[in-house]
Amino acid sequence: MGGAFTALADDWTAVHYNPAGAAWLTRSELFATAAIFSPRITYTPDTLQFGGWRANNKPYGEYYNADKTIVMPQLGGFAKVSPGSGISLGMGVYTQAVNNMEWDLYAPYYATNETFPGPDTRSDLRTWTFHPAMSFKFMDKLAVGAGFEVTRTLLDQSRVMFVDDPGVQFNLPPYPVGQVMLDQTVDGTGWGIGYNLGVLAKFNLFSLGLSFQSTMVQKLSGQSTTNFWSQKVEGRGDLGSPLIEQDLLGGKTHTAIQDIDLEVTLPPYVTLGVALFPTDGLRLTGDLTHTFYSEVPGIIVTSNDSVTFKFGDPQSDFTTVTVQTTELYQWEDQFRLAAGLEWDASESLQLRIGAYYEPAVVKTTSLTPLNWDPSSKISPSAGVSFDIGPSWNLGYSYGAVFHEDRTASVYTPYNQAGQYGGMRHESFVSLGYRW
Protein backbone atom coordinates (compact mmCIF):
# COMPACT_ATOMS: atom_id res chain seq x y z
CA MET A 1 0.00 0.00 0.00
CA GLY A 2 2.98 2.30 -0.57
CA GLY A 3 3.53 2.44 3.18
CA ALA A 4 0.33 4.53 3.64
CA PHE A 5 -0.77 2.85 6.85
CA THR A 6 -0.72 5.44 9.64
CA ALA A 7 -4.49 5.98 9.79
CA LEU A 8 -5.31 2.27 9.35
CA ALA A 9 -2.63 0.40 11.34
CA ASP A 10 -4.80 -2.67 11.82
CA ASP A 11 -2.19 -5.43 12.13
CA TRP A 12 1.02 -6.10 14.05
CA THR A 13 3.04 -3.62 11.93
CA ALA A 14 1.23 -0.89 13.87
CA VAL A 15 4.21 -1.32 16.21
CA HIS A 16 6.21 0.60 13.59
CA TYR A 17 3.62 2.68 11.69
CA ASN A 18 1.33 3.84 14.49
CA PRO A 19 1.11 1.90 17.78
CA ALA A 20 -2.30 3.47 18.55
CA GLY A 21 -3.93 1.41 15.79
CA ALA A 22 -3.54 -1.86 17.66
CA ALA A 23 -6.17 -0.76 20.19
CA TRP A 24 -8.86 -1.70 17.64
CA LEU A 25 -7.61 -5.24 17.04
CA THR A 26 -10.43 -7.68 17.78
CA ARG A 27 -8.12 -10.66 18.27
CA SER A 28 -4.56 -11.31 19.33
CA GLU A 29 -2.15 -12.11 16.49
CA LEU A 30 1.38 -13.28 15.77
CA PHE A 31 3.08 -12.89 12.37
CA ALA A 32 6.38 -14.01 10.85
CA THR A 33 7.63 -12.23 7.72
CA ALA A 34 10.54 -12.63 5.33
CA ALA A 35 11.56 -9.25 3.87
CA ILE A 36 13.53 -9.71 0.63
CA PHE A 37 15.51 -6.82 -0.89
CA SER A 38 17.41 -6.78 -4.21
CA PRO A 39 19.12 -3.46 -5.06
CA ARG A 40 20.04 -2.87 -8.70
CA ILE A 41 21.70 0.55 -8.46
CA THR A 42 23.75 1.77 -11.45
CA TYR A 43 26.82 4.01 -11.47
CA THR A 44 28.77 5.39 -14.45
CA PRO A 45 32.07 6.94 -13.24
CA ASP A 46 33.08 10.32 -14.68
CA THR A 47 36.44 9.34 -16.16
CA LEU A 48 37.10 12.71 -17.81
CA GLN A 49 38.07 14.28 -14.49
CA PHE A 50 40.82 11.69 -14.08
CA GLY A 51 42.21 11.86 -17.60
CA GLY A 52 40.39 8.71 -18.69
CA TRP A 53 41.69 6.47 -15.86
CA ARG A 54 40.28 2.99 -15.99
CA ALA A 55 37.77 1.80 -13.44
CA ASN A 56 37.82 -1.99 -13.15
CA ASN A 57 39.97 -2.16 -16.30
CA LYS A 58 37.29 -0.57 -18.47
CA PRO A 59 37.85 2.89 -19.95
CA TYR A 60 34.17 3.83 -19.72
CA GLY A 61 30.86 2.19 -18.96
CA GLU A 62 28.00 1.61 -16.58
CA TYR A 63 28.36 -0.57 -13.50
CA TYR A 64 25.75 -2.39 -11.45
CA ASN A 65 26.18 -3.24 -7.80
CA ALA A 66 26.81 -6.93 -7.10
CA ASP A 67 23.81 -9.17 -7.66
CA LYS A 68 22.75 -9.52 -4.04
CA THR A 69 19.51 -10.61 -2.44
CA ILE A 70 19.10 -9.77 1.23
CA VAL A 71 16.59 -11.79 3.26
CA MET A 72 15.65 -10.26 6.61
CA PRO A 73 13.34 -12.16 9.00
CA GLN A 74 10.76 -10.16 10.94
CA LEU A 75 8.52 -11.23 13.80
CA GLY A 76 5.77 -9.42 15.67
CA GLY A 77 2.35 -9.51 17.24
CA PHE A 78 -0.16 -7.93 19.58
CA ALA A 79 -2.09 -9.46 22.47
CA LYS A 80 -5.41 -8.18 23.79
CA VAL A 81 -5.20 -7.72 27.56
CA SER A 82 -8.93 -8.38 27.97
CA PRO A 83 -11.89 -8.13 25.54
CA GLY A 84 -13.33 -4.93 27.00
CA SER A 85 -10.24 -3.14 28.28
CA GLY A 86 -9.25 -1.36 25.06
CA ILE A 87 -5.61 -2.17 25.86
CA SER A 88 -3.27 -4.05 23.53
CA LEU A 89 0.33 -5.04 24.20
CA GLY A 90 2.66 -5.78 21.32
CA MET A 91 6.21 -6.60 20.30
CA GLY A 92 8.05 -6.33 17.00
CA VAL A 93 11.50 -7.58 16.04
CA TYR A 94 12.47 -6.20 12.64
CA THR A 95 15.04 -4.32 10.60
CA GLN A 96 14.93 -0.55 11.00
CA ALA A 97 17.62 0.16 8.41
CA VAL A 98 19.41 -1.99 5.88
CA ASN A 99 22.04 -1.07 3.29
CA ASN A 100 23.87 -3.84 1.49
CA MET A 101 25.80 -2.58 -1.54
CA GLU A 102 28.85 -4.18 -3.15
CA TRP A 103 30.89 -2.97 -6.12
CA ASP A 104 34.15 -3.68 -7.94
CA LEU A 105 34.70 -0.24 -9.39
CA TYR A 106 38.37 0.66 -9.20
CA ALA A 107 41.76 -0.51 -10.34
CA PRO A 108 44.83 1.64 -9.54
CA TYR A 109 45.55 3.97 -12.44
CA TYR A 110 49.27 3.65 -11.71
CA ALA A 111 51.56 0.62 -11.41
CA THR A 112 51.94 -1.03 -8.00
CA ASN A 113 53.47 -4.24 -6.64
CA GLU A 114 50.09 -5.20 -5.17
CA THR A 115 46.68 -5.98 -6.60
CA PHE A 116 43.76 -3.79 -5.63
CA PRO A 117 41.44 -5.72 -3.27
CA GLY A 118 37.83 -6.40 -4.16
CA PRO A 119 35.10 -5.68 -3.65
CA ASP A 120 36.62 -2.23 -3.22
CA THR A 121 33.36 -0.37 -2.53
CA ARG A 122 30.85 -2.02 -0.23
CA SER A 123 28.51 -1.27 2.64
CA ASP A 124 26.70 -3.66 4.95
CA LEU A 125 24.66 -1.68 7.48
CA ARG A 126 21.89 -3.42 9.43
CA THR A 127 19.95 -2.21 12.42
CA TRP A 128 17.80 -4.72 14.27
CA THR A 129 15.00 -3.23 16.34
CA PHE A 130 13.41 -4.81 19.42
CA HIS A 131 10.21 -2.85 19.83
CA PRO A 132 7.66 -3.39 22.63
CA ALA A 133 4.53 -1.22 22.31
CA MET A 134 1.25 -0.51 24.08
CA SER A 135 -2.02 1.05 22.89
CA PHE A 136 -5.10 2.24 24.76
CA LYS A 137 -8.54 3.09 23.38
CA PHE A 138 -11.05 5.39 25.08
CA MET A 139 -14.35 7.04 24.11
CA ASP A 140 -14.66 4.37 21.34
CA LYS A 141 -13.22 6.80 18.80
CA LEU A 142 -9.75 7.74 20.03
CA ALA A 143 -6.65 5.69 20.83
CA VAL A 144 -3.09 6.51 21.81
CA GLY A 145 -0.02 4.32 21.65
CA ALA A 146 3.67 4.33 22.42
CA GLY A 147 6.63 2.10 21.81
CA PHE A 148 10.17 1.77 23.15
CA GLU A 149 12.96 0.71 20.80
CA VAL A 150 16.25 -1.00 21.54
CA THR A 151 18.44 -1.30 18.46
CA ARG A 152 21.49 -3.35 17.56
CA THR A 153 23.55 -2.04 14.63
CA LEU A 154 26.22 -3.82 12.61
CA LEU A 155 28.42 -1.85 10.18
CA ASP A 156 31.00 -3.19 7.72
CA GLN A 157 32.01 -0.71 5.03
CA SER A 158 34.83 -0.17 2.53
CA ARG A 159 35.39 2.82 0.27
CA VAL A 160 38.02 4.21 -2.09
CA MET A 161 39.28 7.75 -1.47
CA PHE A 162 41.49 10.18 -3.38
CA VAL A 163 44.01 12.61 -1.85
CA ASP A 164 46.42 15.14 -3.33
CA ASP A 165 49.85 13.88 -4.43
CA PRO A 166 52.07 14.07 -1.30
CA GLY A 167 55.34 14.02 -3.31
CA VAL A 168 54.84 17.34 -5.05
CA GLN A 169 56.83 19.32 -2.49
CA PHE A 170 59.89 17.09 -3.11
CA ASN A 171 59.64 17.24 -6.91
CA LEU A 172 59.03 13.51 -7.24
CA PRO A 173 57.51 12.08 -10.43
CA PRO A 174 53.86 13.06 -10.17
CA TYR A 175 51.06 10.62 -9.63
CA PRO A 176 48.66 10.48 -12.58
CA VAL A 177 46.13 13.34 -12.47
CA GLY A 178 47.69 14.51 -9.19
CA GLN A 179 45.64 12.12 -7.05
CA VAL A 180 46.66 9.19 -4.84
CA MET A 181 44.32 6.27 -4.18
CA LEU A 182 43.56 5.04 -0.69
CA ASP A 183 41.06 2.49 0.52
CA GLN A 184 39.57 2.23 3.99
CA THR A 185 37.50 -0.43 5.75
CA VAL A 186 35.46 0.39 8.87
CA ASP A 187 33.58 -2.13 10.97
CA GLY A 188 31.76 -1.83 14.26
CA THR A 189 28.82 -2.98 16.35
CA GLY A 190 26.78 -1.19 19.00
CA TRP A 191 23.45 -0.27 20.55
CA GLY A 192 20.94 2.56 20.51
CA ILE A 193 17.54 3.42 21.95
CA GLY A 194 14.51 5.37 20.74
CA TYR A 195 10.74 5.59 20.95
CA ASN A 196 7.65 6.27 18.86
CA LEU A 197 4.25 7.75 19.66
CA GLY A 198 0.90 7.54 17.89
CA VAL A 199 -2.67 8.85 17.93
CA LEU A 200 -5.57 7.44 15.92
CA ALA A 201 -9.14 8.80 15.75
CA LYS A 202 -11.86 6.75 14.00
CA PHE A 203 -15.17 8.02 12.66
CA ASN A 204 -17.88 6.44 10.51
CA LEU A 205 -16.42 7.16 7.09
CA PHE A 206 -12.81 8.09 7.81
CA SER A 207 -9.98 7.98 10.34
CA LEU A 208 -7.04 10.25 11.11
CA GLY A 209 -3.65 9.15 12.39
CA LEU A 210 -0.54 10.92 13.61
CA SER A 211 2.75 9.26 14.52
CA PHE A 212 6.21 10.38 15.56
CA GLN A 213 9.51 8.50 15.48
CA SER A 214 12.37 9.80 17.60
CA THR A 215 16.01 10.17 16.61
CA MET A 216 18.06 7.04 17.29
CA VAL A 217 21.81 7.40 17.76
CA GLN A 218 23.72 4.12 17.55
CA LYS A 219 27.01 4.09 19.44
CA LEU A 220 29.43 1.59 17.90
CA SER A 221 32.90 0.30 18.66
CA GLY A 222 35.14 -1.26 16.06
CA GLN A 223 38.23 -0.91 13.92
CA SER A 224 39.44 0.95 10.83
CA THR A 225 41.99 -0.34 8.31
CA THR A 226 43.43 2.19 5.84
CA ASN A 227 45.73 1.35 2.90
CA PHE A 228 47.88 3.85 1.01
CA TRP A 229 48.74 2.58 -2.48
CA SER A 230 52.20 3.65 -3.66
CA GLN A 231 52.96 3.90 -7.38
CA LYS A 232 55.88 1.96 -8.84
CA VAL A 233 58.36 4.10 -10.78
CA GLU A 234 61.48 2.35 -12.13
CA GLY A 235 64.83 4.15 -12.49
CA ARG A 236 63.66 7.22 -10.69
CA GLY A 237 67.18 8.42 -9.74
CA ASP A 238 68.05 10.93 -7.06
CA LEU A 239 65.07 13.27 -7.33
CA GLY A 240 64.51 14.09 -3.67
CA SER A 241 64.72 12.44 -0.29
CA PRO A 242 65.72 8.77 -0.86
CA LEU A 243 63.47 7.52 1.93
CA ILE A 244 60.49 9.47 0.64
CA GLU A 245 61.18 8.18 -2.87
CA GLN A 246 61.30 4.63 -1.54
CA ASP A 247 57.96 5.07 0.25
CA LEU A 248 56.09 6.95 -2.46
CA LEU A 249 57.59 5.46 -5.64
CA GLY A 250 58.39 1.89 -4.60
CA GLY A 251 55.04 0.31 -5.40
CA LYS A 252 54.38 -0.59 -1.78
CA THR A 253 51.20 -0.70 0.27
CA HIS A 254 51.21 1.15 3.60
CA THR A 255 48.59 0.00 6.12
CA ALA A 256 47.29 1.62 9.31
CA ILE A 257 44.96 -0.25 11.71
CA GLN A 258 43.38 1.33 14.76
CA ASP A 259 40.48 0.95 17.17
CA ILE A 260 37.67 3.49 16.77
CA ASP A 261 34.33 4.51 18.24
CA LEU A 262 31.53 5.60 15.90
CA GLU A 263 28.03 7.06 15.86
CA VAL A 264 25.39 6.17 13.29
CA THR A 265 22.13 8.14 13.42
CA LEU A 266 18.65 7.14 12.24
CA PRO A 267 16.57 10.25 11.53
CA PRO A 268 13.36 11.35 13.28
CA TYR A 269 10.15 11.74 11.30
CA VAL A 270 6.50 12.65 11.74
CA THR A 271 3.61 11.26 9.67
CA LEU A 272 0.06 12.47 9.17
CA GLY A 273 -2.32 9.88 7.73
CA VAL A 274 -5.93 9.65 6.59
CA ALA A 275 -8.07 6.63 5.72
CA LEU A 276 -11.43 6.73 3.96
CA PHE A 277 -14.10 4.00 4.11
CA PRO A 278 -16.48 4.58 1.18
CA THR A 279 -17.91 1.02 1.50
CA ASP A 280 -17.63 -1.79 4.03
CA GLY A 281 -15.02 -3.64 1.97
CA LEU A 282 -12.97 -0.75 0.63
CA ARG A 283 -10.34 1.35 2.36
CA LEU A 284 -8.37 4.24 0.83
CA THR A 285 -5.30 5.56 2.64
CA GLY A 286 -2.87 8.44 2.33
CA ASP A 287 0.26 9.43 4.30
CA LEU A 288 2.40 12.54 4.35
CA THR A 289 5.74 12.00 6.09
CA HIS A 290 8.35 14.62 6.91
CA THR A 291 11.73 13.07 7.66
CA PHE A 292 14.46 15.18 9.25
CA TYR A 293 17.34 13.71 7.25
CA SER A 294 19.50 16.74 8.07
CA GLU A 295 19.74 15.30 11.61
CA VAL A 296 21.97 12.54 10.17
CA PRO A 297 25.51 13.98 10.01
CA GLY A 298 27.08 10.80 8.62
CA ILE A 299 29.13 7.94 10.00
CA ILE A 300 30.87 9.94 12.69
CA VAL A 301 34.05 8.63 14.29
CA THR A 302 34.24 9.94 17.85
CA SER A 303 37.69 8.53 18.72
CA ASN A 304 40.78 8.11 16.51
CA ASP A 305 39.10 9.96 13.66
CA SER A 306 42.22 10.60 11.57
CA VAL A 307 44.92 8.33 10.18
CA THR A 308 48.29 9.90 9.34
CA PHE A 309 50.86 8.25 7.06
CA LYS A 310 54.45 9.55 7.30
CA PHE A 311 56.78 9.02 4.35
CA GLY A 312 60.54 9.50 4.72
CA ASP A 313 62.62 10.14 7.82
CA PRO A 314 60.53 11.73 10.60
CA GLN A 315 63.76 13.25 11.99
CA SER A 316 64.57 15.16 8.78
CA ASP A 317 62.72 15.23 5.47
CA PHE A 318 59.29 13.70 5.49
CA THR A 319 55.83 14.26 4.10
CA THR A 320 52.47 13.19 5.43
CA VAL A 321 49.01 12.25 4.26
CA THR A 322 46.17 12.54 6.77
CA VAL A 323 42.90 10.71 6.12
CA GLN A 324 39.70 11.38 8.03
CA THR A 325 37.76 8.25 8.95
CA THR A 326 34.48 10.13 9.46
CA GLU A 327 32.18 9.93 6.45
CA LEU A 328 30.17 13.14 6.25
CA TYR A 329 26.71 13.23 4.66
CA GLN A 330 24.91 16.23 3.26
CA TRP A 331 21.29 15.14 3.46
CA GLU A 332 18.21 17.31 3.14
CA ASP A 333 14.89 17.10 4.97
CA GLN A 334 12.22 15.73 2.68
CA PHE A 335 8.51 14.99 2.44
CA ARG A 336 7.27 11.60 1.32
CA LEU A 337 3.79 11.20 -0.16
CA ALA A 338 2.14 7.77 -0.13
CA ALA A 339 -1.29 6.46 -1.12
CA GLY A 340 -2.86 3.01 -0.93
CA LEU A 341 -6.02 1.00 -1.48
CA GLU A 342 -7.24 -2.15 0.28
CA TRP A 343 -10.22 -4.16 -0.98
CA ASP A 344 -11.96 -7.18 0.53
CA ALA A 345 -12.45 -9.22 -2.62
CA SER A 346 -14.17 -11.90 -0.53
CA GLU A 347 -14.48 -12.90 3.11
CA SER A 348 -11.05 -14.53 3.00
CA LEU A 349 -9.22 -12.58 0.25
CA GLN A 350 -7.79 -9.05 0.45
CA LEU A 351 -6.11 -7.19 -2.41
CA ARG A 352 -3.90 -4.11 -2.04
CA ILE A 353 -2.14 -1.58 -4.25
CA GLY A 354 -0.21 1.60 -3.49
CA ALA A 355 2.67 3.90 -4.36
CA TYR A 356 4.91 6.53 -2.80
CA TYR A 357 7.13 9.35 -4.02
CA GLU A 358 10.09 10.96 -2.24
CA PRO A 359 12.47 13.60 -3.67
CA ALA A 360 16.22 13.12 -3.48
CA VAL A 361 17.64 13.13 0.04
CA VAL A 362 21.38 13.09 -0.74
CA LYS A 363 23.00 16.23 -2.16
CA THR A 364 25.18 15.78 -5.23
CA THR A 365 28.18 16.92 -3.16
CA SER A 366 28.05 13.76 -1.00
CA LEU A 367 26.93 11.12 -3.48
CA THR A 368 28.76 7.79 -3.63
CA PRO A 369 27.93 4.26 -4.85
CA LEU A 370 27.38 3.33 -1.20
CA ASN A 371 24.09 5.26 -1.16
CA TRP A 372 21.08 2.96 -1.16
CA ASP A 373 18.84 5.83 -2.34
CA PRO A 374 20.94 8.01 -4.69
CA SER A 375 18.12 10.07 -6.19
CA SER A 376 14.40 10.86 -6.22
CA LYS A 377 12.33 7.71 -6.21
CA ILE A 378 8.84 6.48 -6.97
CA SER A 379 7.63 3.07 -5.87
CA PRO A 380 4.45 1.26 -6.95
CA SER A 381 3.47 -1.81 -4.96
CA ALA A 382 0.82 -4.52 -4.82
CA GLY A 383 -0.09 -7.25 -2.38
CA VAL A 384 -2.53 -10.01 -1.52
CA SER A 385 -3.45 -11.86 1.67
CA PHE A 386 -5.62 -14.93 2.15
CA ASP A 387 -7.26 -16.30 5.28
CA ILE A 388 -6.79 -20.04 5.68
CA GLY A 389 -9.55 -21.15 8.00
CA PRO A 390 -10.55 -19.05 10.98
CA SER A 391 -7.03 -18.42 12.31
CA TRP A 392 -4.28 -18.55 9.69
CA ASN A 393 -3.34 -15.85 7.18
CA LEU A 394 -0.87 -15.98 4.28
CA GLY A 395 0.32 -12.80 2.56
CA TYR A 396 2.66 -11.55 -0.17
CA SER A 397 3.54 -8.09 -1.46
CA TYR A 398 5.95 -6.70 -4.04
CA GLY A 399 7.29 -3.21 -4.59
CA ALA A 400 9.60 -1.76 -7.24
CA VAL A 401 11.58 1.37 -6.33
CA PHE A 402 12.60 3.38 -9.41
CA HIS A 403 15.37 5.97 -9.10
CA GLU A 404 15.66 8.96 -11.41
CA ASP A 405 19.00 9.39 -13.20
CA ARG A 406 21.20 11.85 -11.36
CA THR A 407 24.68 13.29 -11.95
CA ALA A 408 27.39 14.26 -9.46
CA SER A 409 30.07 16.45 -11.03
CA VAL A 410 32.93 16.73 -8.51
CA TYR A 411 35.26 14.23 -6.80
CA THR A 412 35.84 14.90 -3.08
CA PRO A 413 36.68 12.64 -0.11
CA TYR A 414 32.90 12.25 0.38
CA ASN A 415 31.74 12.35 -3.22
CA GLN A 416 32.33 10.34 -6.40
CA ALA A 417 31.50 11.98 -9.70
CA GLY A 418 29.37 10.23 -12.29
CA GLN A 419 25.80 9.29 -13.11
CA TYR A 420 23.57 7.35 -10.72
CA GLY A 421 20.25 5.59 -11.20
CA GLY A 422 18.73 2.12 -11.16
CA MET A 423 16.03 0.45 -9.10
CA ARG A 424 15.36 -1.85 -6.15
CA HIS A 425 13.05 -4.86 -5.76
CA GLU A 426 11.26 -5.46 -2.44
CA SER A 427 9.15 -8.48 -1.50
CA PHE A 428 7.46 -9.53 1.73
CA VAL A 429 6.11 -13.00 2.49
CA SER A 430 4.16 -13.38 5.74
CA LEU A 431 2.39 -16.07 7.72
CA GLY A 432 0.15 -15.11 10.63
CA TYR A 433 -1.99 -16.69 13.33
CA ARG A 434 -4.91 -14.95 15.09
CA TRP A 435 -6.80 -16.13 18.16
**Each residue's pLDDT tens digit, 371-423:** 888 899 999 999 999 999 999 999 999 999 999 999 988 777 778 888 999 99
pTM: 0.89
DSSP-assigned states of every residue in 396-429: EEEEEEEEEEEEE---BTTB--EEEEEEEEEEEE
d(CA 355, CA 412): 35
The more confidently predicted of residues 7 and 90 is: 7
The more confidently predicted of residues 408 and 356 is: 356
The more confidently predicted of residues 95 and 208 is: 208
Q: What local confidence, expressed as pLDDT, does residue 238 receive?
A: 59
Answer yes or no: are the C-beta atoms of 241 and 317 closer than 8 Å: yes
Q: What is the mean pLDDT of residues 214-226?
A: 96
Residue 139 scores a pLDDT above 90: no
Residue 8 scores a pLDDT above 70: yes
DSSP-assigned states of every residue in 135-154: EEEETTTEEEEEEEEEEEEE
d(CA 150, CA 168): 50
Instruction: Report the topology of domain 14-340.
Output: Porin (2.40.160)
d(CA 331, CA 274): 28
**Each residue's pLDDT tens digit, 266-317:** 999 999 999 999 999 999 999 999 999 999 999 999 999 999 999 888 787 8
Q: What local confidence, expressed as pLDDT, does residue 423 receive?
A: 92
Domain range list for the chain: 14-340
d(CA 66, CA 100): 10
Answer yes or no: are the C-beta atoms of 384 and 396 closer than 8 Å: yes
**Each residue's pLDDT tens digit, 39-64:** 888 888 887 777 666 655 555 677 77
Residue 255 scores a pLDDT above 90: yes
Start-to-end CA distance of the chain, whole Å, equals 25
